Amino acid sequence: MLLKEFIIKDIIDYEILHDCDILGELSYGNIDVLVDLVKMSDKCDDVTACNKIDGFFKKYGYENTFELVAYEVIGREPENKNDEHTVKDYKTFSEVLENFYNEMQAIDGNLGLSDFWKLSTRYMYKYSDGLKDRYIFNLNKQSQEQFLNAETFIGLLFGKLKEPLHFNDQGQQCKAGQEHMTLKEKILAVKNHEL
């Protein structure tokens, strides 16, 4: 981690103010943009930013420094740099961020634009991964509920179900009267083949 962090709003404001694409400028080796990004991330002056960049050049080399800073702006390095991705034709990094927001908004309608703008580019991936995990959890939960509904319907249809289903504190199906069993009672029921 070379730099501290980039807030999404700061990146969008910079691209609008300078009418440029930050990643495009970094790929061209624009030193002025590099200095501005170090100042934006680390909240420092020109001299401190230039000294830091000189240290990066000595440690990583010229081209690698620009590449590493670009990954800092993006928020993470790709898991496999050799993978070929299908990429839409974006004019600026702001468009990438807007697309990312729209995809996140499709899953989590509670994420407002002003909240998204306050995120750092690094944190937006953690937030996105959390949304994905929550989405998959909810899909699995819905699938289990649908299966349980179908199982109940079939049981009722063929007369196998004589009473409503009961669930314990963990949400697992159990027999009537065993919803609130203690651990000792559960162990005894398992030994007696009652569960």
The predicted pLDDT at position 78 comes to 66
pLDDT at position 140 = 84
Q: Note the pLDDT of residue 2.
A: 76
How do the pLDDT tens digits run along the chain, 195 residues long?
678 888 999 998 999 999 998 988 988 999 999 999 999 999 999 999 999 999 999 999 999 999 888 888 888 776 665 544 444 455 678 888 888 888 888 888 888 888 888 988 888 888 888 888 888 888 888 888 888 888 878 877 777 766 666 676 666 776 666 656 677 777 777 777 765
pLDDT for 47 equals 94
* Structural domain boundaries in the chain: 8-80+89-133, 163-195
What per-residue string of b and e applies to 159-183 under the rule 16 or more CB within 10 Å gives b? eeeeeeeeeeeeeeebeeeeeebee
